[in-house]
Amino acid sequence: MQRYFGALTMFLLIAMVLTRIAMLKTRGVSAMHFGQTDKSDFLLPPFVLFYFYTVSAHAFGLPTPGGSAFFSLVVAGWAGVVLCTAGLLLMAWSLLSFGRSFRVGIDAEHPDKLITTGIFAITRNPIYVAFGLVLLGQFLLFPNWVTLIFLVCGAVVIHRQVLREERFLRRHYGPAYVDYTDRVRRYL
């Protein structure tokens, strides 16, 4: 059951984001801006699909890359389930807190208001924290070289995107954003 939940988690995360994008589109808000700031972002989807296959294959007993597990502890598996659940809940809270301001990528032409309430009063990047929790949880569920590499690379890619977004937000919102960064941590 733990492994099935680990695989289901990533599909639920993506479904939440795509559902939010579709809901905003019905309200006239274009929320998808992936790759508009940096075309190298389009290098990510093949790796994400490979990761999806790897996690799903481990969950459903299909041939898997990554070799044997580093460890096999029931406690680690349950810790992974807890982290994946926390990531899903944090994602849902983030999307609710974002309201109409949610975007995938940087919307330089039509940015909405700066959100500093809800979960954004605790962390400036709750969606990225949610993805990080899920990656860590999935590593604990499927502890091998592939999930470890994706955990490390995911952290690097997330941090790179956060820095890009912070530069834009600092330019766009000025002192209001600087004041916000003084009050609220980047991650946790």
Q: Is residue 188 part of a domain?
A: no
Q: Is residue 96 part of a domain?
A: yes
CATH number for 32: 1.20.120.1630
Let me know the angle formed at the C-alpha of 129 by 22 and 176, rounded to the nearest 5 degrees: 80
**pLDDT of the residue at 31:** 87
Percentage of the residues of the chain whose pLDDT score is greater than 70 = 100
Least confident span in 35-39, 47-51, 117-121? 35-39
Burial of 61 (0-12, 13-18, 19+ CB in 10 A): exposed
Tens digits of residue pLDDT in 82-134: 999 999 999 999 999 998 899 998 888 878 889 999 999 999 999 999 999 99
What sign does the dihedral 183-122-153-108 (CA atoms) show?
A: negative
Q: Which of 88, 158, 81, 92 is nearest to 125 (CA)?
A: 158
In this prediction the pTM is: 0.91
**pLDDT of the residue at 51:** 94
- Please check the confidence at residue 179 and state whether its pLDDT lies above 90: yes
Confidence of residue 44 (pLDDT cuts 50, 70, 90): confident
Three-state SS annotation for 110-138: CCCCCCCCHHHHCECCHHHHHHHHHHHHH
Count of domains forming the chain:
1
Q: Which of 147, 143, 4 is nearest to 81 (CA)?
A: 4
Per the document, the length of the chain is 188
Which comes out higher in pLDDT, residue 40 or 5?
5
Q: Is residue 131 part of a domain?
A: yes
Residue 121 lies in domain: 2-183
Least confident span in 10-19, 29-38, 146-155, 170-179? 29-38
**pLDDT of the residue at 64:** 87
Distance CA 24, CA 100 (A): 7
